[in-house]
């Protein structure tokens, strides 16, 4: 497993060693021991999966403390642009984002620590997206930032007229319109 640093040090790309032959491929998608040694000690408690079609943008979601979540995400089918936005007040990268293409071809995974909003756009005709969470979903703690917040300058790589949103995702506040529940150093 190779760990690739991003512009925000806590957000990392994981590239597994893929063994391919004429039968197909095999790779170890997750090992708690390896992940703890190479990235950070994390105990994931919930796995989620979604299927979405081209142009769907999901996000930018987070769960506030005490139910904050770190996530390890990957694509099983198709391709997405995965985005993590730093919401930690006092962080040197507050409001900055990392955007990484995850696909069934590159087998990359992205680790998003607590204190970040997360979202993705579907670049292929459809995509199956999986993510591990280190805390259980708590609806009373969910929050979000507007996917199209102009101060974030995220290029979702989908033309605006093709973006498909849930009713809820169409009405989130911009970053400067809410008081972040995360404090840098308290993740």
CA neighbor of 135 nearest in space, from 43, 32, 72, 39? 43
Answer for the pair 87, 65: CB distance below 8 angstroms, yes or no: no
Identify whether 137 is a catalytic site residue.
no
Q: Which residues contact 15 (CB under 8 A, 6 or more apart)?
A: 1, 2, 3, 4, 106, 107, 108, 109
Which member of 61, 97, 107, 118 is catalytic? 61
Identify whether 131 is a catalytic site residue.
yes
Indicate the SS3 state at residue 148. Answer: coil
Which member of 107, 118, 131, 172 is catalytic? 131
Q: Which two tokens stand for residue 9?
A: 């040090």
Q: Which two tokens stand for residue 64?
A: 């506030």
Element (H, E) at 131: strand 126-133
Could you list the active site residues?
61, 131
């Amino acid at each position: 497993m190779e760990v690739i640093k991003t512009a925000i040090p806590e957000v990392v790309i994981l590239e597994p060693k893929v063994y391919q032959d004429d039968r197909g491929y095999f790779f170890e998608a997750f090992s708690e021991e390896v992940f703890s040694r190479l990235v950070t000690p994390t105990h994931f408690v919930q796995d989620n999966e979604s299927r979405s079609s081209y142009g769907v943008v999901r996000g930018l979601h987070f769960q506030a403390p005490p139910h904050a979540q770190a996530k390890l995400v990957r694509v099983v089918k198709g391709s997405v642009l995965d985005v993590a936005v730093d919401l930690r007040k006092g962080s040197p990268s507050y409001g900055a984002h990392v955007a990484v293409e995850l696909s069934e071809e590159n087998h990359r995974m992205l680790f998003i620590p607590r204190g970040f909003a997360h979202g993705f756009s579907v670049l292929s005709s459809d995509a199956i997206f999986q993510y591990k969470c280190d805390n259980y979903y708590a609806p009373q703690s969910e929050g979000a930032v507007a996917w199209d917040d102009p101060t974030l300058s995220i290029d979702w790589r989908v033309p605006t007229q093709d973006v498909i949103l849930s009713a809820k995702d169409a009405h989130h506040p911009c970053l400067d319109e809410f008081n972040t529940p995360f404090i840098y150093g308290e993740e």
